[in-house]
Chain A
Amino acid sequence: MLQVVLAVTAAFAFALPARANVDIQEITSPGGIDAWLVEEHSIPFVALELRFKGGASLDAPGKRGATSLMVNLLEEGAGDLDARAFARATESLAASFSFRANDDSVSVSAKFLSENRGQAVALLRDALVNPRFDADAIERVRAQVISGIRSDLKDPDSIAGTKFAAMLFGDHPYGSNEDGTENSVSALARDDLVAAHQAVLTRDRLFVSAVGDITADDLGRLLDSLLADLPETGAPQPSDVTPEFAGGVHVIDFDTPQSVVLFGQPGIGLDHPDFFAVYVLDTILGGSGLESRLMREVREKRGLTYGVYTYTVDKDHADYWMGSVASANDRVAETIDVIRAEWQKLRDTGITQEELEDAKTYLTGAYPLRFDGNGPIANITVNMQVSDMGIDYVATRNDRLNAVTLDDVNRVARELLDPDRLTFVVVGRPQGLSN
């Protein structure tokens, strides 16, 4: 059952719920597919999440965009059904399937009603195992993808993201857009899509979680019928890469009134012993919305932006630390000065005990609130598996956060915050800024 057990601590003026305790079952299907299940029978549907690790980074050399286009075509005809028949069948069952490719994985999110579960799973199976890649569907979806690529070339946020990725990762798959370029997508043939399908959607890189109206036995049978016919192995995973943060400001001229800014520096990943200290530090710096230092200095005190945020990025093959902000062209230089100054100040003088306690009560209190529906729980639990977190993570995560000390945070601030390598990409017509 979906239970979030609350234990109340009296240590703070506002006592907080300390831990989420979702009852996750670890199951293995008769055919050998592992999955995590949370049974919740009060609403007659199931949320199912699949992750195939590797995703768009498994594109073959010279085939950038193949995985993304392949994934976009999974619901455009499968088995005996062409694209239109497949869409009608899905609608008839009121099921929803979504397929997405990103740098590290292909995600499949499905919701289906208990009353027609078997039929919905049969449809989804065809999409995963027997996609048709019909010529007319390829051309139709290719045109949509190219339209999106062209739009990205004139969108300041996309321009900034593309530039930053290229600077950090060069020729590594992380260094280019997973959708590919107009040229690379135009050159893709049906064989390339079939090859991408064989390379990416395989059982050796699969993670599964299900939440809702289904028993462990039924889920086991469901997974075998859904996934047993996928190939056992696929393409090798890409290698790790160290992002290159050169420091400085990099301006891309684009005629628009507000400059869009991405900034970043090296970071650490979930598996690092200092991860939770860095997580707390990031929360105080720019991770906690209106309460963060950057939001207070850049927005609340100076009115320079609508929003400024930082976040740690934990990819499968690289860890780093990013932020974003947008300010009018005549004010963005001041915005960047303030961010740099805050970076330096946090490194030099650290945080206060009060900031530490506020960040902890925020993070630990917010955690159980995430587990508030079948869809969100399925998403959280599949990502836990992908990140190799262990099934006890839900129960222990807040204890690990609470164990972070003021010395820990201030030590990682000194060791990790690096104003010299803090790198800015600015897209717009910024005044008083140049490369």
Chain B
Amino acid sequence: MPMKRVFASLVALSAFILPAAADDQVSHFTLQNGMDVVVIEDHRAPVVVHMVWYRAGSADEKPGVSGVAHFLEHLLFKATENMESGELSATVARNGGRDNAFTSYDYTAYYQRVAADRLELMIRMESDRMVNLKLAEDEIATERDVIIEERNQRTENNPAALFREQKNAALYLNHRYGVPVIGWRHEMEGLTRQAALDYYKQFYAPNNAILVVAGDADPQEVLALAETYYGVLEPNPALEARNRPSEPRQMAERRMIFRDARVAQPYVSRSYIAPERDPGDQKKAAALVMLAELLGGGQTSWLTEKLQFETQKAVYTGAFYDGLSLDDTSFSLVVVPAEGVSLQDAEDAMDAAVKSFLEAGIDTEQLDRIKFQLRAAQVYVRDDVEKLANRYGEALASGLTIEDVQAWPDILQAVTEDEILAVAHEVLVRDHAVTGWLMSEDSGEIN
């Protein structure tokens, strides 16, 4: 059935009006001891998400104990001065909630999702384990086995994960982002109670933490509870600025081949060192977000157009950039070749497409579509308060401010075509990049 009206209507797309930024209903406080408090209100359901983010992740570890940040995250579910081992999670479950925690390069976070009237109980337990962890020796060995099985599951059993790990190590010449969050296996095997304790004593303190409460909560009531439980904790005066080893000037292209018999579908992937979102300075990162979308963000992107539609060299293409990072982040391209296309051909086609993209300039209509989708995302995200909570927690733990988070949608909308091309020329330089081929062991291809 003819549907001409659909196509005709597209001309009018730029006329759609959406709010430039969603009303986040965000309040922000800082306690006397330096702990940040963020409250995001959504009163549609009597549910609350309670999170504590520490400005400490795997990239803050000392050399030789990789994985200790994540190991400690596991151990925080064990006994404290006031709770038995496992009591916190059991209490959350008995209250119909769920809880978990996660560790990244720049942060470690703990959260519970419960009925709104259980917030105080969560705050009481979370504030307890911020300072009162006991770390019984008999639980260390068993939990170390658990994290090694976690590494087995996530990484050792997955050739693509091993490949990413090796590639990341080659990308960063000096920064700890080159070391996996879960840890190198040989170092994980030697993790001790003392190593975990050292990390805990250094980084777990109110002046290194961000409380995020999202959902059916009143900001003043949250502030009062935060003062009662978190506000009484002593700050750590020895906490230092997060000046971690940084990247030197990168001068040589790196190339690697990773072979594994378990690889069924080879692919080529390249990562470039790229600037991150910095406080008060997010324009370049915003341009990189647009660049990733234009180059490889979906069905209408340049790589897809060139490698999947105009030619059938690839079964999948993509470009990725995440600007939320304390230090230099990466911009990545991936091409999964079609059957009969070698990795060299796939890489050549990728390079040719990037080159033609830079020569052709920006497709204004496509940029408008991307910007409209980003504005719409501000509407959709209001349906997911946990996502908003993560957004604020991650940003603050990555060195940004509330103001940076709230300015970000407008900065994205203001990105110009010239800015995108300029950042592309600056970042897409192979001397600052590692190119990796993931391939099966029996593949004859060498180059």
* Chain A residues packing against B (C-beta within 8 Å): 2, 4, 6, 14, 16-17, 40, 42-45, 47, 78-81, 83-85, 87-89, 91-94, 111, 113, 115-116, 119, 122-123, 125-126, 129-130, 139-140, 143-144, 146-147, 150-156, 229, 255-258, 260, 288-291, 299-307, 326-328, 358, 361-369, 371-375
One of A6, A78, A258, A289 near B93 (C-beta < 8 A): A289
Residue pair B145, A303 in contact (C-beta under 8 Å): yes
Q: A17-B115, A130-B3, A154-B262 are in contact. List 9 more A-B contacts (CB 8 A).
A: A16-B95, A17-B46, A81-B7, A84-B299, A94-B376, A147-B265, A155-B264, A255-B261, A361-B95
Residue pair B90, A291 in contact (C-beta under 8 Å): yes
Which residues of chain B are near A155, meaning CB under 8 Å?
262, 264
- Chain B 1-13 per-residue mask, 1 if CB under 8 angstroms from chain A, else 0: 1111111011001
* Chain B residues packing against A (C-beta within 8 Å): 1-7, 9-10, 13, 16-18, 44-47, 77, 86, 89-91, 93-98, 113-115, 117-118, 121, 141-150, 152-153, 156-157, 215, 261-265, 298-300, 305, 308-309, 312, 315-316, 336, 338-339, 369-370, 372-373, 375-377, 379-380, 382-385
Residue pair B383, A91 in contact (C-beta under 8 Å): no
Shortest beta-carbon contacts, A-B, top 5 = A365-B96, A303-B145, A94-B376, A87-B299, A79-B3
Q: In the complex where A258-B156, A326-B153 touch, is A122 in contact with B97 (Cβ < 8 A)?
A: no
Residue pair A129, B1 in contact (C-beta under 8 Å): yes
In whole angstroms, how far apart are the Cα atoms of A6 and B115 in the complex?
A: 10
Residue pair B6, A358 in contact (C-beta under 8 Å): no
Q: In the complex where A122-B6, A154-B263, A373-B384 touch, is A257 in contact with B315 (Cβ < 8 A)?
A: no
- Minimal Cβ-Cβ distance residue in B for A115: B16
Q: In the complex where A147-B265, A300-B142 touch, is A326 in contact with B336 (Cβ < 8 A)?
A: no
17 sampled A-B residue pairs with Cβ under 8 A: A4-B45, A14-B95, A43-B382, A78-B3, A80-B3, A80-B7, A87-B300, A89-B10, A113-B379, A129-B1, A301-B142, A358-B90, A361-B95, A366-B97, A368-B47, A368-B96, A369-B47
Least CB distance, B119 to chain A, in whole angstroms: 13
In whole angstroms, how far apart are the Cα atoms of A45 and B46 in the complex?
A: 21
Residue pair A358, B9 in contact (C-beta under 8 Å): no
Residue pair A2, B156 in contact (C-beta under 8 Å): no
One of B4, B13, B47, B148 near A92 (C-beta < 8 A): B13
Least CB distance, A164 to chain B, in whole angstroms: 18
Residue pair B16, A305 in contact (C-beta under 8 Å): no
One of B157, B263, B339 near A258 (C-beta < 8 A): B157
Which residues of chain A are near B377, meaning CB under 8 Å?
94
Least CB distance, B166 to chain A, in whole angstroms: 16
One of A93, A119, A257, A373 near B152 (C-beta < 8 A): A257
In whole angstroms, how far apart are the Cα atoms of A153 and B312 in the complex?
A: 24
Q: In the complex where A89-B10, A289-B98 touch, is A369 in contact with B2 (Cβ < 8 A)?
A: no
- Minimal Cβ-Cβ distance residue in B for A123: B6
Residue pair B382, A291 in contact (C-beta under 8 Å): no
In whole angstroms, how far apart are the Cα atoms of A176 and B318 in the complex?
A: 31
- Minimal Cβ-Cβ distance residue in B for A260: B157
Which residues of chain B are near A139, meaning CB under 8 Å?
312
One of B1, B149, B379 near A327 (C-beta < 8 A): B149
Interface core residue of A43, A140, A369, A371 (most chain B CB under 10 Å): A369
Residue pair A366, B96 in contact (C-beta under 8 Å): yes
Which residues of chain A are near B338, meaning CB under 8 Å?
143
One of B4, B89, B315 near A144 (C-beta < 8 A): B315
- Minimal Cβ-Cβ distance residue in A for B261: A255
Least CB distance, A76 to chain B, in whole angstroms: 9
Interface core residue of A123, A151, A362 (most chain B CB under 10 Å): A362
In whole angstroms, how far apart are the Cα atoms of A361 and B89 in the complex?
A: 14
Least CB distance, B296 to chain A, in whole angstroms: 14
In whole angstroms, how far apart are the Cα atoms of A43 and B9 in the complex?
A: 24
Least CB distance, B24 to chain A, in whole angstroms: 13
One of B6, B94, B385 near A119 (C-beta < 8 A): B6
In whole angstroms, how far apart are the Cα atoms of A22 and B9 in the complex?
A: 36
Which residues of chain B are near A115, meaning CB under 8 Å?
16-18
Q: In the complex where A84-B299, A111-B380, A303-B145 touch, is A91 in contact with B369 (Cβ < 8 A)?
A: yes
In whole angstroms, how far apart are the Cα atoms of A79 and B1 in the complex?
A: 6
In whole angstroms, how far apart are the Cα atoms of A125 and B86 in the complex?
A: 51
Residue pair A43, B379 in contact (C-beta under 8 Å): yes
In whole angstroms, how far apart are the Cα atoms of A353 and B150 in the complex?
A: 33
Interface core residue of B153, B263, B370 (most chain A CB under 10 Å): B153
Which residues of chain A are near B305, meaning CB under 8 Å?
84
One of B115, B144, B261 near A368 (C-beta < 8 A): B115
Which residues of chain B are near A85, meaning CB under 8 Å?
7
Q: In the complex where A88-B300, A150-B265, A365-B115 touch, is A126 in contact with B77 (Cβ < 8 A)?
A: no
In whole angstroms, how far apart are the Cα atoms of A320 and B3 in the complex?
A: 46
In whole angstroms, how far apart are the Cα atoms of A101 and B300 in the complex?
A: 24
Which residues of chain B are near A81, meaning CB under 8 Å?
3, 6-7
